[in-house]
Structure 1
């Protein structure tokens, strides 16, 4: 029997797996990356940005769940936008989602390398990052159930670790420290901080990309999403606020390991707890790195299966029922990005892809409500049309802020989209994929 074919993906995931994937995809955002937001806004400015982004994500996830349960396909946002708008909707959503899920893993790999270097200074950051790609692509090749079980274990460890961290630093929280130099750049800083606030929740929508591998998608996807977003809201706000009361925000605003550094301030860098936490902190980063590899591979697979990418990327391994060529291709792109960008640039670019995808997904939700009123909707967004409208409005504000403060990166992002559209139309593919 051939090792490559176009068989369906295996349906084995349960609600606990979905919660683990949802939280695991994102939880590294609580460990690093968000602290760069302090550098452009201060503590109070970043708190305001985070509260606005939290409202955006809560309304978005409740809205997005309606799409995921109605159209449980591996393409996720690409599938919904293609169904609502045809080839151009699918192309925009697919491109934006690919940028998000291909660019996010390199940022996490950088942090994995930085955490490892913090523990063992002899380990080069980039060498550890490249090794992570090799190891976790290998784990993902073994099958989705094995991958999801691994996600469950490391996600539970990461959540417990964050709770322990909060318990250790909370008694040392100082309100006076937290409000020192609270908004040095005024409201302008709040807008500049939005992409770093997005990092707290970025990629939770990746659950949509394993929808074809869920045992009972119409009932269980909503549970995974809702419990996942609630878990992340509590963790994000707690970690950010308590860490901000430990030391002046400038001390932690430019490093990839803010939590071990905060513990080092509270307990001493050579304290056993500090090293123990930094060691366990790798679990949170591993959970997200592993989850985003699942996400990018399913997105590449779905785009290839639908004719948007070369067909060989849409093949499934007969033995493990995983999209092996999609896993390899995304890994190569990620390793290239590792060599070219810095953590803050990677975060901004990933956030840019995310908000474009959020916007077109919300517009697709409105369009499908009109276009297909009889579509089976196992989960209906509450307070329609308020929730999707709020999510769309806040996503638009985030997009405007990211573009305004990051014009060169934004130009690269949209230039890439224009080039792909031109190639697509010139090749005549748009005529065959409507």
Structure 2
């Protein structure tokens, strides 16, 4: 959430920030609402102070045995007026907060301007896409059918956009998860955390998925939400707490299932594992002071690149333009992996700097060395979605006989296995 004090001080910067996101200026409306709210609050406080003063006078006159009926009448009128003002203040406060909650984060000055994802800026390439001379590369769905990937039975069980993995293919996804967690903890110094997948509405609101992305979330009958990303639970670890500057930065990592309705993705990636309702992901979350945010953001990106390079997957790094930025982010880098079957790069990971947008919504603060309370910056990164990593491995490491060469860093996690053989590990229900 944006700071209303900042909007008061810099309404022109606020409106310019909205225009960068192709939104209409709103400073006039918000500052008017803020002014009316503050004036009503002032009147309420004055009315309450006056009634309290009369209450003390009534108490004193009672002790003296003096007449108090006139003061009691005045107090009764003041009480009614105070009650009406309190209700008005509450209504105006809710209007102001609601308006602020629907506002996006302000973009960093370094974010390139653009009208669509076509205007994203490619910052670097790593690795050379493989040239298939002896055979035409197959897509991951075709390859997976003979390795234990089953969409047919998953659809019978759960509907479209679900998948079952079995045998060594399931083990490979588990190996990816374990390896990434080990790298994030041992190499990057993260604290590994296992968190719930069902959360209350306040938790989802705090990270910014609500109210903007409500259609993309699954909600239970008791008004809990299935998390769409581990970012939700990791950031809520410090919800409504006061941290100490000496303990920052904090870095968390977790492996979680994620659930998305993909309401805005009709007709996109309907086949295969690119866009599922349920998928698994290893998440990174950081919490730091403002002065460390840019450096930590770069460190997040470097860690994600390390994972990609260790897997030997060709990729490129992209700076998202203003039109393609997430609602909560100040600045975002995407990592796009090469998929031979599509002959192009596809998003596999991202990392974002969200400034104080989320810490204000979760009421997370830290005490500075000088004893002042400030809101920390929050950062998040996907490192990596195991499903999309699996897709990239299948397609980039496929062989002419349908087998898959396993990246070397995963051999020990696979019990020494270095290849997935077709047909050998078909699910028992397909035999």
TM normalised by structure 1 equals 0.24
Of the two, which has the highest radius of gyration? 2
- Greater strand percent: which structure? 2
- Greater helix percent: which structure? 1
The higher-RCO structure (CA 8 Å, 6+ apart) is: 1
